[in-house]
Amino acid sequence: MGAWAGPWACICDTNTGLLWEVKTDDEGIHDGSWTYSWYQYENGVENNGDCYFEESRCDTEDLIRHTNRQKLCATQNWRLPDITELRSIILRESKSGSPQIASEYFPKTQRGDYWTRNADRPLYGVYQYLHTGAGAVNFMSAKTVTIPYRNAAFVRLVSSHSTTCNKYPQ
């Protein structure tokens, strides 16, 4: 099914069997402009992002909790992708100056870093004193970086629930 038939709330990657969250611009929970600090299982920094769908929390764990409670695309196992999973949706044939991702399927992709679940990675340079952070992928440069948990970055959630993946556009 072509991208023109969308918009979609989720996209299935038939190469990996992963179901991806599609970002919006409606200022709701899935708005592509919101950023989050990295926080998972009492590790990282709580509430240090920039989102307005909730008064008191703006971190990755909160987004995941809300998305699972919402049962986005009939799925309750949303999570942060690992570096390999997030890099799997990089599209190297993109137009110069555009995100290196299939924008027709992943609209609202921002210029900036996207969190992964890869934590406890050593920090270098000006952030070395913070010791560790989490991995992130930048779709403009197609590079993987490690940034401090306290930084605000974007998020694209993933689900590995393959039976749900069959129900959504590919």
Which residue ranges make up each domain of the chain?
Answer: 15-165
Check whether 62 has a pLDDT greater than 80.
yes
Check whether 170 has a pLDDT greater than 50.
no
Q: Give me the pLDDT at residue 14, please.
A: 86
Q: pTM for this one?
A: 0.91
Question: Would you call 127 exposed, middle or buried from its count of C-beta atoms within 10 A (0-12, 13-18, 19+)?
Answer: middle
Question: For 119-154, how does the pLDDT look when each residue is reduced to its tens digit (9 = 90+)?
Answer: 999 999 999 999 999 999 999 999 999 999 999 999
Q: Best-predicted range by mean pLDDT among 107-111, 144-148, 165-169?
A: 144-148
Structural contact between residues 135 and 145, judged by C-beta atoms closer than 8 angstroms: yes
Q: Give me the pLDDT at residue 8, please.
A: 80
d(CA 140, CA 94): 10
Check whether 1 has a pLDDT greater than 60.
no
98: region left, alpha or beta (phi > 0 left; psi from -120 to 50 alpha): beta
